[in-house]
Structure 1
């Protein structure tokens, strides 16, 4: 009972991977909107709290509850503002230490450039605009409350059970080399470990790229997964043809090219990646 309290918001796959890493150090409270998940959370050592980030009245019990917070909850699916994070900051305690898991999508299309955390954000779609809004709201809360905030910008998360196998089996095409985009990756287990590091070592209002060492284009990623599972590689199409056969949401992910440096998580947080590249993970499966 003397352990410090930690509040986890958005306890999905990454949050569940996080619980075993932190349950000996903290008394953990995990927020869920689904009462059916309470037993699962208890089994991993968390105290489940049923609350809905879209319903401010249900968040009152979180006020002053914990001095450490991991915010994994995504913004709403529509609009350009993150109302969930706005509701949350109204009840978060002052002088807390928070890690917020954002997205690399806040940078928009960078033409394949390699860059560090000093690059300005340039969101190109509503999904990324909501994340930029959340970061801005949390920075304002941290300044007003005297809280410690670290922001992790996270790319595509993968794991053994989080690979594009259904896409490959469906034969969804990828872009030809000339039109293809650079993508960034992080294994779910490595992301959980990075969150732990940031919780204890993260700088005040500091941004970190939670990405691995992979340097590959999107189609090369699909090819690597296909080869590892003995599936057919996806067909390649020029962008003009591809946009006629994939959904707008999928096309948006295939329209932004960037490469993010991860030196800061290694220098400042002391991160040592378990899966330095996607190829390493696939070779160990």
Structure 2
């Protein structure tokens, strides 16, 4: 590229609207190629060592830490479009990080927040849409509900535009439970198994971008695929596709004795989320509509 072309590209980049990504991890990195043609992207990281990686994908890194409010001052007014993908801290009953972020958000900003389907708690396997009330049963899920409420209050008082994406278990080729299968960690017996929901990381990246352009103000969306699986069926399908033994099955009473409380909590909530709003309003066509569709590709490559 000659000097004149380089200068032209720089001018075009600086003219694009600014967008700020909070929590640019795996999904955020998958979003960058979709965003950089339209926005001048600023990506917040608390790790200076990641700056080169972010620059390589066209983002301008900003070193800041949601746990250190003073470090966020440089973000004030930086962008009116914000993608909030950062999880709450591991402790506490509130999401202090989201509170710190809201303190520096400008009025009339647009925010897309990536939350979790865990806010619903155990639903006994019921299938439902976004109108169902939340009923979090773990501290982690209660912090997510707190984040959603704080963002809603910010949007109300600052005349902001907010979209909340409730996200289930995220999978990808690099995010399959292979270590668990190799360790032969047991799953629940079929008669006690729980319904789970899934989304591929690439599809989630596309959903976040679609919400940025098409979401209705103050709207919640289920960012889930079309899979109808129980947890043990998911482990079995991954095991079959990757030529690994299927996990042993145990009744819940026995499983409680051999798995961690954190793992057991994931096996204690059963729900099936409707994604029709995602399709109707955001116009999303999933690249991997089911886990099985993705695993067929894994099996062919194996």
TM-score interval for Structure 1 and Structure 2 normalised by the shorter chain: over 0.9
For residue 161 of structure 1, give the secondary structure of its aligned residue in structure 2.
helix
Which of 110, 121, 124 aligns to 1:97? It is: 110
| Paired residue secondary structure (1:38) | helix
CA distance in 1, matches of 2:236, 2:190: 12
Alignment of 1:61-100 (within 5 A): 61-100=74-113
1:115 to 117, 128, 131: 128
- Report which of the two structures shows the higher radius of gyration computed on alpha carbons: 2
**After superposition, where does 1:13-52 map in structure 2 within 5 Å?**
13-52=26-65
Distance in 2 separating the partners of 1:43 and 1:50 = 16
What's the counterpart of residue 274 of structure 1?
Answer: 287
Match of 2:24 in 1: 11
Structure 2: give runs of 5+ residues left out of the alignment: 1-13
Deviation at 1:178, TM superposition (A): 1.0
The aligned counterpart of 2:278 is: 265
Tell me how large the CA RMSD over aligned residues is. 0.4
For 1:268, what is the secondary structure of its paired residue?
helix
The answer for the alignment partner of 1:157 in structure 2 is 170
The count of aligned residue pairs is: 285
**1:142-221 correspondence to structure 2 within 5 Å:** 142-221=155-234
Partner of 2:146: 133
Partner of 2:71: 58
- Pairing 1:252–2:265 present: yes
Structure 1 runs of 4+ off > 3 angstroms? none
Q: Counterpart of 2:173 in 1: which secondary structure?
A: coil
Q: Which secondary structure does the structure 1 equivalent of 2:83 belong to?
A: strand
**CA–CA separation in structure 2 for the residues paired with 1:30 and 1:20:** 13
Distance 2:256 2:92 in 1: 24
Unaligned runs of 5+ in 1: none
**Secondary structure of 1:30's aligned partner:** strand
Post-superposition Cα deviations, 1:188-211, rounded to whole Å, max 9, x if no partner, equal 000000001000111111000000
What TM-score, normalized by structure 2, do the two folds share?
A: 0.94
Cα deviation 1:22-47 (Å, max 9, x = unaligned)? 00100000000000000000000000
Distance in 2 between residues matched to 1:267 and 1:80, nearest whole Å: 35
Q: TM-score, normalised by structure 1?
A: 1.00
User: How far apart, CA to CA, are the structure 1 residues paired with 2:106 and 2:259?
Assistant: 44
